[in-house]
A and B are shown apart, each in its own frame.
Chain A
């Protein structure tokens, strides 16, 4: 439900042009050596049969997907890829109904993925990104919060900014007695899911509202539609606090708090700190993993994962080949390009595992 983003159009266009240049030169020579910015170890550019891929789902990864789609299409002129957004749940439903070829999802599957109509599903981690705790409080430009304090703020146990708990987290700051306005998402969202799951994991005694893409917020909180809606509401109200994706928080010019991670270090929401959250995280055999509340020393603890879901057994030859090439592109060039779209790349280890999984996709001969 988030509004399409237009930021960073310049770099993306430039990137598209570079990719286009590579694409046109590589068509004549069978062994392309991509110059400069694009290094493609496993994606040897083969001419793909023309196909149209449709995807829907997570809006959290939409900006990243669209940038990568643009770059990929510039390389492969016969391929058209559409990514519709709509929410993680919609993506999963669309994939189950077989009306799309891939789905974006911010959550590991709730139901058994092997029991889907179209056969077993494969999960491809693509990028991660921090969820900021953004606030507006005149006179306060730096703020550190612990999970417990955040849990109390967002469940309305703490109602003013000069509360002892916030003071305890920020001994040197001079905090006004402004009332706190909590802003959350009005639409159900993967961001809410990951934020509340983090609070539940990191502050189990203070966070009793539960976790999910919609939770029963206290009635004296405010809601905004989409990340941009929350950002707008936070920006408009002195004393407001809300959780917003990094890219939207940056675009709205919000100030965001540093969060104390489980190693006790206050970390600001940056892309490096988000990538750091993946260090040492247990990755399951199906490539699902949980970077929230990471134990890594430099990790930003509210780091949201996201996946692309596809059926292991593809039914259409051209589509299957295009899908494999697109996934490989995201896991190679896409990783290098991620920061330009305000997303953090995966670790080398995880990327390698995901790339190996691309080969498991079965395409009819």
Chain B
């Protein structure tokens, strides 16, 4: 990146200085104007698409919102096929409470980030500042390749290979930590298809993305800045801490946000390994469920209110992503301001 930017600078200086005349001669106003409107149209298209998605999903989900009211957000009872007996006759009495799924989505995304972020930042630092130059190309290529693996492959691998192995591991971890106050609660359960398995699979899936972006950011750290720190007698770690990390902070947070977005929206891999049990529990080795996974699992059989409740879950994913993203952006702005001050 550093190389390409300086290359660009060279080109710009060489092209602008000798022949500035032909550019203005070819009626720049027309090209300039049309480019402006084209770019404007593209920019507005994004907003229009976003608005259309929000409006159409929300309107389709309205029957469910009306049916449940605030219970849609604050109830954990999800029972689409429930019936009740009214004057001797069995009538449908479905309940759609998404709280357990919201909880599940947050928990598995948190696990995924806790694991993926340190590993990714480490990998990126290794690639930019530690690895021998010959190794950098192949390793970054391999990481980009990992990012291209479809999520269903991760999911199938998780359910067929990883889950059976983890069941035993969870069992021994559970008995080892039994009785320890916080850990004992968190690390109990012992189902191969659980919050933890889903979190691990998601961590695996978002690591390449975060690594790739973080590496790009770290590569933009000016060589002069690194060399200045080293020249002051700093070790490599001190150089990373003093020059690379502060420079890349907002970029890294952006990368993490993209990873988080993918983790929260991940559907098939989560659906396969999370265990599909709508419950709110601190036991991470127990089966849970997540918003997108429920949509994937139940859409085929759902009709009427049930269907619109599932679309409502989609709206929730959308809203959750927006909330988390804006929170992160606010965080970036605040830390940047503090750093500047």
Q: Let me know if B287 and A214 touch, CB within 8 A.
A: no
Taken together as a complex, chains A and B put the C-alpha atoms of A231 and B300 apart, in Å, by 20
Interfacial chain A residues near B82, Cβ < 8 Å: 210, 212, 216
Q: Let me know if B193 and A214 touch, CB within 8 A.
A: no
Within 8 A of B (CB), among A209-237: 210-217, 219-225, 229, 232-233, 236-237
Q: Which stretch of A118-126, A182-190, A241-249 is in the interface? A: A182-190
Interfacial chain B residues near A210, Cβ < 8 Å: 79, 81-83
Q: Let me know if B300 and A229 touch, CB within 8 A.
A: no
Q: Let me know if A186 and B79 touch, CB within 8 A.
A: no
Taken together as a complex, chains A and B put the C-alpha atoms of A222 and B281 apart, in Å, by 16
Cross-chain contact of A90 among B191, B296, B300, B304 (Cβ < 8 A): B300
Taken together as a complex, chains A and B put the C-alpha atoms of A59 and B276 apart, in Å, by 20
A270 to chain B, nearest CB (A): 27
Interfacial chain B residues near A285, Cβ < 8 Å: none
Taken together as a complex, chains A and B put the C-alpha atoms of A214 and B78 apart, in Å, by 10
A74 to chain B, nearest CB (A): 29
The reply to whether the CB of B185 lies closer than 8 angstroms to some CB of chain A is: no
B187 to chain A, nearest CB (A): 16
Q: Let me know if A87 and B78 touch, CB within 8 A.
A: no
Q: A186-B275, A216-B78, A216-B79 are in contact. Are A222 and B299 (CB under 8 A)?
A: no
Interfacial chain B residues near A190, Cβ < 8 Å: 301
Q: Let me know if A110 and B303 touch, CB within 8 A.
A: yes
Interface string of B143-171 (1 = CB under 8 A from A): 00000000000000001100010010000
Cross-chain contact of A214 among B81, B167, B286 (Cβ < 8 A): B81
Taken together as a complex, chains A and B put the C-alpha atoms of A90 and B299 apart, in Å, by 7
The reply to whether the CB of A194 lies closer than 8 angstroms to some CB of chain B is: no
The reply to whether the CB of B75 lies closer than 8 angstroms to some CB of chain A is: no
Taken together as a complex, chains A and B put the C-alpha atoms of A165 and B133 apart, in Å, by 68
Q: A188-B298, A215-B81, A236-B164 are in contact. Are A93 and B307 (CB under 8 A)?
A: yes
Q: Let me know if B277 and A217 touch, CB within 8 A.
A: yes
Q: Let me know if A219 and B281 touch, CB within 8 A.
A: yes
Within 8 A of A (CB), among B168-217: 191-193
Taken together as a complex, chains A and B put the C-alpha atoms of A190 and B301 apart, in Å, by 8
The reply to whether the CB of A89 lies closer than 8 angstroms to some CB of chain B is: yes
The reply to whether the CB of A297 lies closer than 8 angstroms to some CB of chain B is: no
Cross-chain contact of B298 among A59, A187, A232 (Cβ < 8 A): A187
The reply to whether the CB of B314 lies closer than 8 angstroms to some CB of chain A is: no
Cross-chain contact of A188 among B164, B277, B301 (Cβ < 8 A): B301
Q: A92-B303, A219-B279, A222-B191 are in contact. Are A186 and B80 (CB under 8 A)?
A: no
Interfacial chain B residues near A220, Cβ < 8 Å: 191, 286
Interfacial chain B residues near A217, Cβ < 8 Å: 277
Residues of B within 8 A of A (CB-CB), count: 36
A165 to chain B, nearest CB (A): 24
In this complex, what residue of A is CB-closest to B100?
A: A219
Q: Let me know if B301 and A214 touch, CB within 8 A.
A: yes
Q: A186-B276, A225-B272 are in contact. Are A214 and B298 (CB under 8 A)?
A: yes
Interfacial chain A residues near B83, Cβ < 8 Å: 210-211
Q: A186-B271, A229-B159 are in contact. Are A89 and B301 (CB under 8 A)?
A: yes
B292 to chain A, nearest CB (A): 13
Within 8 A of A (CB), among B72-128: 77-83, 92
Taken together as a complex, chains A and B put the C-alpha atoms of A110 and B83 apart, in Å, by 13
Taken together as a complex, chains A and B put the C-alpha atoms of A90 and B307 apart, in Å, by 10
In this complex, what residue of A is CB-closest to B191?
A: A222
Q: A210-B81, A232-B160 are in contact. Are A216 and B278 (CB under 8 A)?
A: yes
The reply to whether the CB of B297 lies closer than 8 angstroms to some CB of chain A is: yes
Interface string of A63-91 (1 = CB under 8 A from B): 00000000000000000000000111110
Interfacial chain A residues near B78, Cβ < 8 Å: 216
Query: Dominant SS at the B interface?
Result: loop
Q: Let me know if A223 and B276 touch, CB within 8 A.
A: yes
Cross-chain contact of A222 among B92, B275, B300, B302 (Cβ < 8 A): B275
Taken together as a complex, chains A and B put the C-alpha atoms of A212 and B303 apart, in Å, by 12
In this complex, what residue of B is CB-closest to A1?
A: B300
In this complex, what residue of A is CB-closest to B190?
A: A220
In this complex, what residue of A is CB-closest to B160?
A: A232
Q: Let me know if A219 and B277 touch, CB within 8 A.
A: yes
Q: Let me know if B297 and A225 touch, CB within 8 A.
A: yes
Interfacial chain B residues near A215, Cβ < 8 Å: 79, 81
Interfacial chain A residues near B277, Cβ < 8 Å: 217, 219, 221, 223
Interfacial chain B residues near A212, Cβ < 8 Å: 80-82
Interfacial chain A residues near B159, Cβ < 8 Å: 224-225, 229, 232
Interfacial chain B residues near A211, Cβ < 8 Å: 81, 83
Q: A219-B279, A219-B287, A222-B275 are in contact. Are A87 and B193 (CB under 8 A)?
A: no
Within 8 A of A (CB), among B266-324: 271-272, 275-279, 281, 286-287, 296-304, 306-307
Q: A219-B281, A219-B286, A222-B191 are in contact. Are A187 and B272 (CB under 8 A)?
A: no
Within 8 A of B (CB), among A286-332: none
Interfacial chain B residues near A237, Cβ < 8 Å: 164, 167
Interface string of A89-115 (1 = CB under 8 A from B): 110110000000000000000110000
Taken together as a complex, chains A and B put the C-alpha atoms of A225 and B307 apart, in Å, by 19
Taken together as a complex, chains A and B put the C-alpha atoms of A213 and B310 apart, in Å, by 15
B111 to chain A, nearest CB (A): 19
Taken together as a complex, chains A and B put the C-alpha atoms of A94 and B208 apart, in Å, by 38
Interfacial chain B residues near A111, Cβ < 8 Å: 303-304
A51 to chain B, nearest CB (A): 26
Interfacial chain A residues near B276, Cβ < 8 Å: 186, 223
Taken together as a complex, chains A and B put the C-alpha atoms of A220 and B92 apart, in Å, by 26
Interfacial chain A residues near B92, Cβ < 8 Å: 110
Interfacial chain B residues near A89, Cβ < 8 Å: 299-303, 306-307
B165 to chain A, nearest CB (A): 11
Within 8 A of A (CB), among B215-273: 271-272
Q: Let me know if B297 and A187 touch, CB within 8 A.
A: yes
A-B contact pairs, 17 of them (CB 8 A): A1-B300, A86-B300, A89-B302, A89-B303, A93-B307, A110-B303, A186-B276, A187-B296, A210-B82, A215-B81, A216-B79, A216-B82, A220-B191, A222-B193, A225-B272, A229-B159, A237-B164
User: Which 5 residue pairs of A and B lie closest in terms of their CB atoms, listed nearest first?
Assistant: A212-B81, A87-B300, A186-B276, A89-B301, A188-B301
Add 13 more A-B contacts to A188-B298, A223-B193, A233-B193 (CB < 8 A).
Answer: A86-B300, A93-B303, A186-B272, A212-B80, A214-B80, A214-B301, A216-B79, A219-B279, A219-B287, A221-B277, A225-B272, A229-B159, A232-B159
